[in-house]
Amino acid sequence: MADHPLSSSGLTLDQVEIDLGTRRLVTLDRRIGPGEVLTVMGDSGSGKSSLLDFIAGFLDPAFRARGRIWLDGTEITSLPPQERKVGLMFQAPLLFPHMSVGENLLFGLDRIKDQGREQRRVLAEDALSDVGLAGFFGRDPATLSGGQQTRIALMRLLLAEPGALLLDEPFSSLDQSRRSDLRNLVFSKAREKGLPVLLVTHDPDDADAAGGDVIRL
């Protein structure tokens, strides 16, 4: 690797290998710089989601993984998931159904200890306005469209201030007319915040929209 992980910002996958039984699924040695997107493509069962699980700290014990993960110069390989500062977006938005839209966003902001609830509410309202959903604070998530739910899930994730963004085919459940707009929103927000992004997908259009390097498993 050209840059030593200790001196590199962004997300570094240092000689990462993931096996299932005798089958090698993933071999990856890459750095994703701030604001960059690396797309990993492959069919179902190729190891795409397992790679994200390893980075986030959720890899099933049935898999065997080697290598190290660095985020902004800090090794996170052995840290518990809640301390890794990586944000995950899945195919489904996974909003909390017992919370309003605003409460879902405040959940992401609860980690910010030096701000009162009113200050956090202002941040949540601003986030809603930022994605064209002003006035949705009190709405029930069940009343929203799939695209609206995905926008809320994105802003909840960004409000938690992750150091990297992991995308597990988050656009696949959307219809074609909304998919392009949501792709552009996600990637533009990641660039704006200088987040390294790892996208796994089987859709070539996702890779084209991401605009970065593509690896095929």
CATH code of residue 69: 3.40.50.300
Q: Does pLDDT of 183 surpass 80?
A: yes
Rg (CA), the chain: 17
Q: Does pLDDT of 8 surpass 90?
A: no
* Residue pair 147/115 in contact by the 8 Å Cβ criterion: no
Q: Structure pTM?
A: 0.89
Q: Nearest 5 degrees, angle CA 186-CA 190-CA 192?
A: 115
The answer as to whether 190 is a domain residue is yes
Domain that holds residue 120: 99-161
Count Cα neighbours of 133 within 13 Å in the Cβ-side half-sphere: 24
* Residue pair 106/46 in contact by the 8 Å Cβ criterion: no
Same domain, 156 and 177: no
Comparing CA positions, the residue from 19, 134, 140, 8 lying closest to residue 72 is 8
The answer as to whether 93 is a domain residue is no
Same domain, 142 and 199: no
3-state secondary structure at position 119: helix
d(CA 159, CA 156): 5
The residue that leads in pLDDT, 96 or 116, is: 96
| Per-residue confidence band for 108, with pLDDT thresholds at 50, 70 and 90 | confident
Average pLDDT over residues 194-206: 94
| Per-residue confidence band for 2, with pLDDT thresholds at 50, 70 and 90 | very low
Q: Does pLDDT of 62 surpass 50?
A: yes
Same domain, 70 and 113: no
Q: Total structural domains in the chain?
A: 2
